[in-house]
Amino acid sequence: MSVTPQQPAVTVLGLGPMGRALTGAFLAAGVRTTVWNRTPGREGDLTERGAVTAASAAEAVAASPLTVICMVNYDATDAVLRQDAVTAALKGRVLVNLSADTPGRARDTGAWAGEHGVRYLDGAIMTPAGTIGSPAGVFLFSGPAGTYEEHRPVLDALGGTHTHLGEEISRAAAFDIALLDVFWTSMAGYVHALALAGAEGVSPRELAPFAAGIAQILPPLFEEFAGDVEDGTYSGAINPLTSGVSSMAHVVHAAEDHAIDSGVMRAVEGLARRTVALGHGADGFSRVAEVLRRR
């Protein structure tokens, strides 16, 4: 790849599936891209497409004004970023962390960056690696707005929609962890449903279209519950908790009739029954959110 003075440049640390996808999108957009991975040899076709492989993380960081790191968690990123040579190379440069972890870890990394003169943005990728570089990608960012706007032209090379959630450094991680909560509890419910349906002779492909119908009911409920929790209304006019608890018990009993572990649904039923016992039986299921927050 030829280099011109005006050519934007980025460094990508971490070449797992997501890091490779990020690198590919930068290269496709004509961004001069330097890469480094803890385990050598993952560059593969990326170098053939124009990526420059650095011999060390510090060398990679020094090659670009903007570094994007994407690893499995912040234990992994800390092991790289907090090496003296890497920290020194990052001073005065911009670091965007697209790894996944907790809001607390994001705050900790933001504080570390501030102490070492690193301009820091935290971020989250909300869609699979295959969406990177396409309109389907979804990226969240938090941190100094000026830093985000300065480097947005390069970040936009990743495609999709980009949302800056504010200057509080942990905002992206807070959205990420909450949305992962929705995803994984939903997936847990679905695989449990497949097991239960299968025990009753219903094949997964038979169930799938009806499960999709249930999924279509959820977006309006998400909006309704958000209003209930934010406004403290918790309406149970259509489906009070006392009715919901009964249907949850049916799922538990049917599963256990087939010796299928029903721990997830038992936990949900337990939360609902505790909420009823506190005097909220006429409220909707959204009341559970308020009970969960009680200390």
- Give pLDDT, residue 40: 85
**Amino acid at the residue 82:** R
Please state the separation of Cα 27 from the chain's center in Å: 24
User: Do the bridges between strand 52-53 and strand 66-69 make them parallel or antiparallel, or are there none, so unpaired?
Assistant: unpaired
* Neighbouring residues of 117: CB distance < 8 A, sequence distance ≥ 6: 91, 92
Domain 203-292 belongs to what topology? N-(1-d-carboxylethyl)-l-norvaline Dehydrogenase; domain 2 (1.10.1040)
The dihedral formed by the CA atoms of 26, 43, 106 and 114, expressed in degrees to the nearest 10: -80
* Tokens at 95, concatenated: 């670091």
Residue 33 is given by DSSP the state: E
Total-model pTM? 0.93
Cβ(171)–Cβ(121) below 8 Å: no
Nearest to 64 by CA among 25, 6, 11: 11
- Give pLDDT, residue 1: 45
* Tokens at 5, concatenated: 């003075």
Average pLDDT of adjacent 10-residue blocks, the chain of 295 residues: 68 97 98 95 88 97 98 97 98 98 98 98 98 98 98 98 98 98 97 98 98 97 96 93 96 98 96 97 97 92
Question: Same topology for domains 9-168 and 203-292, yes or no?
Answer: no
User: In CATH, what number does 9-168 get?
Assistant: 3.40.50.720
Residue 124 is given by DSSP the state: E
- Give pLDDT, residue 152: 97
Nearest to 281 by CA among 257, 246, 229: 246
Nearest to 161 by CA among 135, 142, 180: 135
Q: Which residues pair with 138 in a beta bridge?
A: 161
Domain ranges within the chain, ordered by starting residue: 9-168, 203-292
Hey, is 224 helix, strand or coil?
helix
**First-to-last C-alpha distance (Å) of the chain:** 58
* Neighbouring residues of 100: CB distance < 8 A, sequence distance ≥ 6: 72, 73, 124, 125, 173, 176, 180
Place of tokens 């991680």: 173
- Give pLDDT, residue 5: 52
**Phi, psi at residue 141, to the nearest 5°?**
-135, 150
- Give pLDDT, residue 44: 80
Q: Which residues pair with 53 in a beta bridge?
A: 35
Nearest to 122 by CA among 88, 95, 84: 95
How far, in Å, CA of 140 to CA of 124, rounded?
5
